Structure 1
Amino acid sequence: MNATEGVAAAVLIIGDEILSGRTQDVNLAAIASFLATHGVDLAEARIIGDERAEIIAALRALRDRYDYVLTTGGIGPTHDDITADCVAEVSEAPLYEHPEILAILEARWPDELTPARRRMARVPNGSELIKNPLGGPPGFLIDNVFVLAGVPQVMRGMLSDVGWRLKGGAVVMSRTVRVDGVGEGLIAAPLERVAAAHPALSLGSYPYFSEAGYGSNLVLRGRDADELAFTVAELVDTLSASGITSILIDPPAVTSRATSG
């Protein structure tokens, strides 16, 4: 399945601390799950450092290729928080101090609104603000680029103000066929035959190992419920015809799509 046939997005994770291993990223999984509920495929993810040229190059490439780009990190008060500057350059929109953000900052630090903190009030001209339910500075949206915080709790809160802005497609449904006690070498041929017959679907094999044994979870994903059900049955028949009989089919799993406003 080609993700770009539907509505597709990319995630750009920005921060030297992620690349160095000092901080473990957990935002990608949260964003991928969130996008799926809105019928948006996460087609690409990149992790880059706090380098202006690299951020700008990545933004230009991703925003032209995908319907949406979501960035995390780099909108704080320190010298290396340069995401807003980079987005402004790519969007050809000058930065300005947004009065609503400035009011939030003044209320939060009435006697300590330092120049560094004041930097967080800057957004590109023409931006829409993305609410921060934790009370801190908001993120922003300009063109098709969502600029979100890097702190996981804050980022997840901001997502609540992102969903209604997305024009998603049909939600991807998934089914899992579990095969116990059989290695991928025996599964590969029947799985490939079924996959070739259903190019609109995504079929993948994910091995597992435990004290109780080993095997593979064969995951089928697609947007057409009838084709998905038919393909699950076809895969089971094909595996059985190959002598593989220890098969368990998971119940249908459909991720509901939130309503866009």
Structure 2
Amino acid sequence: MTIAFGLVVVGDEILAGRRRDGHVVHIGAALAAAGHVLAEAVMVGDEPEPLEATLKRTRSAGRPTFVCGGIGATPDDLTRSAAAAAWGRPLVEHPEAVALLEARFGDAARPHRIRMAQWPEGAEPEPNPYNGIPGFRLEDHYFLPGFPEMAWPMVDAVLARDFPAGEPERVVAVRVFGVGESELVEPMEAVRASHPGVRAYSLPSTGGAGIELGCRGQGGEAAALETLLAAVVERGGRWEPLEGAGPASG
């Protein structure tokens, strides 16, 4: 069964352009490979009110959600407290997380690093294979570090453990020349109506590079694209294979 996921990326550095986000691309691809879909991705800064409001909304959406960033020990790491506020629960020290931090840092775990073990009441640990400092799970939300080298293996582990793989989505596509995107609107609408579960899409380009025209689905996408290609030819256009996707010849 295909499951729709959410993603929240936390950090002023992302919004200010000081760091480039990679979570959307990587996690979206990981979900697609597992037969699921990333339905929503939100970026929010290190401010308590917007972060709390975002988590309240994603909680109410009722979909599993990855939250990346803001679970460290410094004053600008506000995801733990925002999650506690969004769920209406106190922050408490989780015994297992405390033990992991004390084993790693010894006496230096307190007074500051131990904050990373302060989670909303009822949260459970999410193992971090990179350095052993866990994230946490609260209902259907998975709170992970912002560092890709930590977060991405944790996402893979969550998917393998909690979400049986579905049928991966397939994409077939070509590059179309000689027709305008507006001329493809009606054929695309017809394909969506006649091929349930298939999504037709077009991605225009500049500089004479044509239009990427394709279909996505878990069955029937190749037949749907053939229907679109017939409409392209009828309108005087032509098409070429798109490397890595679509029919093998034009």
- TM-score, shorter chain, exceeding 0.5: yes
Instruction: Show the 5 A alignment for 1:196-235.
Output: 196-198=193-195, 200-208=197-205, 214-223=209-218, 225=219, 227-235=220-228
The residue that corresponds to 1:9 in the other structure is 5
Q: CA RMSD in A?
A: 2.4
Task: Name the SS of the counterpart of 2:133 in structure 1.
Answer: coil
Cα distance in 1 for partners of 2:37, 2:215 equals 15
Judging changes above 3 Å, is the alpha-carbon distance between structure 1 residues 150 and 39 closer, same or farther for their aligned structure 2 residues? Answer: same
Judging changes above 3 Å, is the alpha-carbon distance between structure 1 residues 15 and 201 closer, same or farther for their aligned structure 2 residues? Answer: same
Cα contact 1:182–1:214 (8 A) shared by 2: no
Residue among 213, 232, 238 paired with 1:239: 232
Judging changes above 3 Å, is the alpha-carbon distance between structure 1 residues 183 and 242 closer, same or farther for their aligned structure 2 residues? Answer: closer
Cα distance in 2 for partners of 1:237, 1:13 equals 42
| Greater relative contact order, per chain length (Cα 8 Å cut-off, separation 6+) | 1
Cα distance in 1 for partners of 2:235, 2:85 equals 57
Q: Deviations over 1:216-239 (max 9, x none)?
A: 21121123x1x2222122111111
Residue among 9, 23, 29 paired with 1:27: 23
Instruction: Show the 5 A alignment for 1:1-261.
Output: 7-163=3-159, 164-166=161-163, 170-180=167-177, 183-198=180-195, 200-208=197-205, 214-223=209-218, 225=219, 227-248=220-241, 250-251=245-246
Cα distance in 1 for partners of 2:191, 2:14 equals 39
Displacement of 1:138 in angstroms is 0.9
TM, length-normalised to structure 2: 0.86
Q: Deviations over 1:101-153 (max 9, x none)?
A: 22222222224223221100112222221110012311111111110110111
Aligned residues: percent identity?
36
Question: What 5-or-longer segments of structure 1 have no aligned partner?
Answer: 253-261
Cα distance in 2 for partners of 1:35, 1:25 equals 17
Displacement of 1:201 in angstroms is 2.2
Cα distance in 2 for partners of 1:167, 1:83 equals 28
Task: Name the SS of the counterpart of 1:102 in structure 2.
Answer: helix
Judging changes above 3 Å, is the alpha-carbon distance between structure 1 residues 30 and 94 closer, same or farther for their aligned structure 2 residues? Answer: same
Cα distance in 2 for partners of 1:77, 1:151 equals 14
Cα distance in 2 for partners of 1:40, 1:209 equals 32
Q: Which amino acid aligns with 2:43?
A: I
The residue that corresponds to 1:255 in the other structure is none
Cα distance in 2 for partners of 1:177, 1:191 equals 14
Cα distance in 1 for partners of 2:240, 2:182 equals 16
The residue that corresponds to 1:258 in the other structure is none
